[in-house]
Amino acid sequence: MRIAAQPGSSYQQPFELLAACHERIERSLRLLARLCEHLATAGPDAVARDAARDVLRYFDIAAPLHQQDEELHVFPALAGDPVLAPVCARLQAQHREIEARWRPLRALLQALDTAELAALRQAAEAFARLHEEHLRSENELIFPAAQALLGEAQGQAMGIEMAARRGLTLTG
């Protein structure tokens, strides 16, 4: 079953959606940091398990789709730029590093009741640090440059494809 995205949805403004995804990544990273603090004082209680589930859900489902959006639409738009193409290549390599760092962190979050707190904290901090420079480069440099290069029709096509990856269809 496909769900229809409403007119005026962020899929019709794909760069706004990408920026909103970055805000959700930052929010999920803050939740992860708060989770580590909570575990240090309260242990793996129901609050901690709920927070871990929220972090797992975001980085298991939404974050990989976001990376696909960037790799399929944003980075290719800048492939001909001699300054920005290497930046895009570095960001794409960072996506692989983010995925690699997520796997052990994910395992620790899934085994929250028995996870070693120091290992979880270390993995969470490394994961967050990797995102900091990555998100800044995309927000301040890559997204504005790609948006300037893509025309309205390309932006609409991008939004349609982004929605389709999430099982949505644009209406209106």
Q: How far apart are CA 90 and CA 71, in angstroms?
A: 12
Give tens-digit pLDDT for 29-80.
999 999 999 999 999 999 999 999 999 999 999 999 999 999 999 999 999 9
- Answer whether 95's CB lies under 8 Å from 131's CB: no
Give tens-digit pLDDT for 103-121.
999 999 999 999 999 999 9
Percentage with pLDDT > 70 across the chain: 93
DSSP state of 112: T
In this predicted structure, what is the pLDDT of residue 172?
52
- Mean pLDDT value across the chain: 92
In this predicted structure, what is the pLDDT of residue 92?
98
In this predicted structure, what is the pLDDT of residue 4?
39
Q: How confident is the model at residue 8 (pLDDT cuts 50, 70, 90)?
A: very low
Q: How far apart are CA 129 and CA 125, in angstroms?
A: 6
Residues contacting 54, CB < 8 A, separation 6+: 28, 31
In this predicted structure, what is the pLDDT of residue 171?
63
The arithmetic mean of pLDDT across residues 3-18, rounded, is: 68
